[in-house]
Amino acid sequence: MLLHIHPDDPQPRNIKTVVDCLKGGGVIIYPTDTIYGLGCDIYNTAAIERICRIKGIEPKKAQFSFVCTDLAHLSDYAKSVSTPIFRLLKAALPGPYTFILEASKQVPKMLKTKKDTVGIRIPDHNITQAIVRELGNPIMSVSLPMDEDVEYYTDPELMHERFAKLVDIVIDGGSGNTISSTVIDCTSGEAQLVREGAGDWENLLG
């Protein structure tokens, strides 16, 4: 299904359609403040396995991130952080960043890396925020399979053509971007750049 949702003022009935799909074990393609992502409910093992098959990856080796709504949400899935790191998160989020933090016990075992870490995202995007709020817990998220065709990466209709048989809903929230989030590792107690992306990390890390 290709589902049009207004990026500035998401229609509640359409958000409910997406959330009902996620609660039922569905897989979606959805917009963020950077690129479109593949997502599912973090507590649905079968849906996570489906995403891994679409991506051609093993769950334990995957670079998953949790899409949350706010910093209060974050404390449920990541261990407590130092005051400087918390200030950094507060300054950066919501925004185009993924922060790698130590995983709490609430993170499903299947989604923990060998290092017991978790990537946390709080996108500055109304559709994403509305979905996660209505769902009541984070979306497990990973980037779409990449290839040379940048146009497909930004056009929801082309995404639907390509993935209609593999996912349940492709959300059309307008054109996507081509640059991923900036990834910052905070597990050592200091912020370290892992991947430069859409975020202005130089100003952020000072």
Q: What is the pLDDT of residue 27?
A: 98
> What number of H helices and E strands is found in the chain?
8, 10
Q: What is the pLDDT of residue 116?
A: 81
Per-residue pLDDT of the chain (206 residues), as tens digits, is 999 999 999 999 999 999 999 999 999 999 999 999 999 999 998 999 999 999 888 776 777 889 999 888 777 888 878 888 999 999 999 999 999 998 877 766 666 555 688 889 999 999 999 999 999 999 999 988 876 666 777 899 999 999 999 999 999 999 988 889 999 999 988 899 999 999 888 877 76
Helix (H) or strand (E) holding 157: helix 156-163
C-alpha dihedral sign at 36, 181, 203, 88: positive
Q: Answer yes or no: are the C-beta atoms of 69 and 96 closer than 8 Å.
A: no
Q: What is the pLDDT of residue 29?
A: 97
Q: What is the pLDDT of residue 109?
A: 67
All structural domains of the chain: 2-205 (3.90.870.10)
C-alpha dihedral sign at 14, 68, 141, 124: positive
Q: What is the largest CA-CA distance in the chain?
A: 46
